[in-house]
Homo-oligomer: A and B are copies of this chain.
Amino acid sequence: MPTKTYHNLPEEKRLKIEEVAIAEFAANPLQSASINAIVKNAGIAKGSFYQYFENIEDLYAHISSIISKKKIEVINSLPLDAANLDTFRYLRRVLQAAVEFQIRHPDLASIERFRRMNSNHLSSVDPETGERVSGDGRFHAFLTQGILHDDIATWVDVDMAAFMLEIIEGGIAPYLVERIGSKTPGVASGALSPEDNRATQDLFDNLMDILEAGLAREPQIRKDFYSK
């Protein structure tokens, strides 16, 4: 973790360092990120860096904690309340959060993408139950609950489906933003125009319909455009 000296720094200087570090980690995976580049771009001396952080992993961990905070901010800003959501509304909310995070903080999303690549992010084994848990366990718990509530088909392999959702969550956000954003270049970050927002929402709904039809115990078949 960053030193006391770092926390005592004037906010302006601290923010500058964090801004530069985020840009560096968004452009390079931790493995290839350069301390020299960071100190140069932040306008601080090499020695100062080592007064603030133990090494580059220390800085990376600090940035990671910032990312976590921003993620929670985004989740809490979503209109849907997490409590009292039925199964698929909850899933929608979780994936929606990933898309929103990509739109509002593309750099931070980029860093997260590098992180996912490096960690195997396959699955681990719960030491207590002996059960496999894919990723951080969010989707695993979601699917288990969904089955208990008769919303998700019992034949679905929970860990496999959790893994599937995990990689879709990680991949779909940059895809949607790239696809919608390519029509209106220049608006690279921040917010989307109302029509872009609508287009993103439509695509997102399309994905959710596929996932829901695939996982639901009694899927509500979406009407096709024409009858056979």
Question: A residues touching B (Cβ–Cβ < 8 Å)?
Answer: 29, 31-32, 117, 120, 122-123, 125, 132, 134, 150, 153-157, 159-161, 163-164, 167-168, 170-172, 174-175, 178-179, 182, 203, 206-207, 209-215, 217-219, 221-226, 228
Contact = CB atoms under 8 A, between A and B. Distances in A.
Nearest to A125: B182
A174 B167 CA distance: 12
A150 to B, nearest CB: 6
B164 A225 contact: no
A35 to B, nearest CB: 16
Given A122-B179, A168-B168, A171-B163, A224 B213 contact: no
B122 A174 contact: yes
11 contacts: A122-B178, A157-B207, A159-B179, A160-B207, A163-B172, A167-B172, A211-B214, A213-B214, A213-B215, A214-B214, A219-B219
A160 B201 CA distance: 13
A222 B155 contact: yes
A206 B122 contact: no
B122 A153 contact: no
B174 A210 contact: no
Contacts of A161: 206, 210
Contact of A213 (B163, B171, B174, B219): B219
